[in-house]
Amino acid sequence: MAPLKRKIKRVEDVFGVAPEVLVDSYVDRGDLDKKIARLLGKKKHIALRGVSKCGKSWLRQRVLPRALVVQCRLGKTVLDVYREALGELGIRLEVSSSKASSLTGTVEATAEVGVSLITKIAAKWGFSGTTTETQTTTAVRQDINDLGFIADLIRESGRILVIEDFHYLDHIERTKLAFDLKALWDFKTYVVIVGVWSGQNILVHLNPDLSARVREVPISWSKEELKKIFETGGAALNLRFGSEIVARAIEDCYGNAGILQRLIEGVLEEAGIEEEQVQPTDVDNIALLDDAELNYAEELNSVYLEFANRVSSGIRNRQNATGIYAHAMAVIMSANDEDLIRGVPLDTVFRTAHAREGRIQKGNLKTVLERIEALQVDDAGRGLVLAYDESRKVVSVVDRQLLLYRKYATVPWPWEDLIAEADDRGEAFADA
């Protein structure tokens, strides 16, 4: 019998941004996979902090392949998180009252696994109440009066709850979740929180009782770790990348593995390389990266044009505050790369905006920054580019593609036009 022919690897199997892990270019930076795996056994919540496309989801998939994943969006509540998590387990949650980490309502099975879970947990809690069951998957309904019942359902499922994009929750809902996390910890149900925030230990800031009960793990990349993406992926495709391409692509990805993956994919597209090479092949023409970056910026043009349109539309709907929002956006979007990555302080935004327009008051500007996230997202609550950290009072860039885009594209941001409109109306700057 003839041996099976080995499948030739294609570029898209090795490089690029993908929902599944591309194992040939996956880099376990600093043995982070093992570190997270160890933390999962320490009876603590885990918070994974890192910017968009930095590899949080790939890391989570590698370490927690069977996780119970809930994606947050702007406008979503903590109760929505529980509803979606239980929905994945075949259970519908109806809440009639919620306060102080306490829930009152019902859970009802909608699938066989939900029937089993509710029946088992109800017996543990000594409930007999309204449960009904037949030999098929007839609905099982149970009254609940404690968050512990929800915690037990999740824990009994054998899956770990992962709450992704935590930063999309508004400040009130983040605070509610932080207090619920203390209760969930008491119930021995440990959660993984994934999101973007610029300060350290945001959950402990929101609820000091989480001290020693949550471990925050920042996800960042060194230049050497980013270089390994070239090396491991290149080896899989029998490619050798030139040092000039490697150095500049790493500089232009702003410490972001996802952007780097897209740049490498673009370089290979420009080189006409679609699959694994038979002979070792050098990829060292810097013009390939020039073209890849320009094409990437052009591809992003529609993304940031839509971002600008959404923000502009939202600003125009703020009567008597158009000028404040517009001046704030003008100041933030003109900040340099390092400041946007680190976070531009409220005081800095105020000083610059006040120098541009003396009628702007700090209190009104702070209110504007607290609302700036809602201006950016689409109807589905996605598309965040800038985030305001209430704890540190800084605005930072969530989507670092913005930095590459404005480096290689001429950006006609509409903020100055909005300022002129406000001036023409003689806006009072009295309210945000």
Read off the pLDDT of residues 37-64 as tens digits, 9 standing for 90 and up.
Answer: 899 989 999 999 888 888 888 898 899 9
Give this prediction's pTM. Answer: 0.85
Catalogue the long-range contacts made by 89-96 (C-beta closer than 8 Å, 24 or more residues apart): 89/113, 89/114, 89/117, 89/153, 89/154, 89/157, 89/159, 90/114, 90/115, 90/117, 91/117, 91/118, 91/153, 93/150
Give the model's pLDDT for residue 136.
Answer: 39
- Say what percent of the chain tops pLDDT 70: 93
pLDDT (average), residues 357-362? 91
Q: Is the pLDDT of residue 139 over 80?
A: no
Using pLDDT thresholds of 50, 70 and 90, give the confidence band for residue 432.
Answer: low
Collapsing DSSP states into helix, strand and coil, what is residue 42?
coil
Give the model's pLDDT for residue 72.
Answer: 93
Distance CA 266, CA 296 (A): 8
- The closest of 72, 112, 109 to 94, measured between CA atoms, is 109
Whose structure tokens read 């500089």? 251
Alpha-carbon torsion (379, 380, 385, 388), positive or negative: positive
- Phi/psi for 130 (5° steps) reads -105, 15
CA end-to-end distance (rounded Å), the chain: 76
Q: Is the pLDDT of residue 3 over 70?
A: no
Using pLDDT thresholds of 50, 70 and 90, give the confidence band for residue 97.
Answer: low
Task: Indicate the range of 89-103, 280-294, 318-332 predicted with least confidence.
Answer: 89-103
Give the model's pLDDT for residue 99.
Answer: 64
Cα 250 off chain centre by: 22
Give the model's pLDDT for residue 134.
Answer: 40
Q: What are the residue boundaries of the structural domains of the chain, listed by start?
A: 11-17+222-295, 40-218, 301-425
191-195 and 214-218 as β-strands: parallel, antiparallel, unpaired?
unpaired
> Rounded to 10 degrees, what is the CA torsion of 304, 310, 311, 317?
170
Distance CA 284, CA 343 (A): 35
Distance CA 362, CA 352 (A): 11
Whose structure tokens read 């350290």? 200
Q: Is the pLDDT of residue 390 over 60?
A: yes
Structure tokens at 346: 């409220």
Q: Is the pLDDT of residue 370 over 50?
A: yes
Give the model's pLDDT for residue 430.
Answer: 56
- Phi/psi for 235 (5° steps) reads -60, -40
Give the model's pLDDT for residue 129.
Answer: 47
- The closest of 306, 305, 311 to 328, measured between CA atoms, is 311
Give the model's pLDDT for residue 4.
Answer: 59
- The closest of 220, 231, 238 to 341, measured between CA atoms, is 220
Distance CA 167, CA 384 (A): 9
Using pLDDT thresholds of 50, 70 and 90, give the confidence band for residue 135.
Answer: very low
Q: Which CATH number fits domain 40-218: 3.20.20, 3.30.70, 1.20.1530, 3.40.50?
A: 3.40.50
Structure tokens at 272: 């006409």
Alpha-carbon torsion (96, 97, 101, 103), positive or negative: negative
Give the model's pLDDT for residue 100.
Answer: 56
Give the model's pLDDT for residue 261.
Answer: 97
Task: Give yes or no for a contact between 139 and 108, defined as CB atoms under 8 angstroms apart.
Answer: yes
Structure tokens at 84: 């979606």
Q: Is the pLDDT of residue 199 over 80?
A: no
Which uninterrupted H or E stretch holds 253?
Answer: none
Task: Give yes or no for a contact between 94 and 82, defined as CB atoms under 8 angstroms apart.
Answer: no
Residue type at position 431: D
> Rounded to 10 degrees, what is the CA torsion of 173, 208, 164, 400?
100
68-71 and 161-164 as β-strands: parallel, antiparallel, unpaired?
parallel
Q: Is the pLDDT of residue 229 over 60?
A: yes
Burial (CB count within 10 angstroms: exposed 0-12, middle 13-18, buried 19+), residue 413: middle
Q: Is the pLDDT of residue 2 over 60?
A: no
Distance CA 141, CA 415 (A): 54
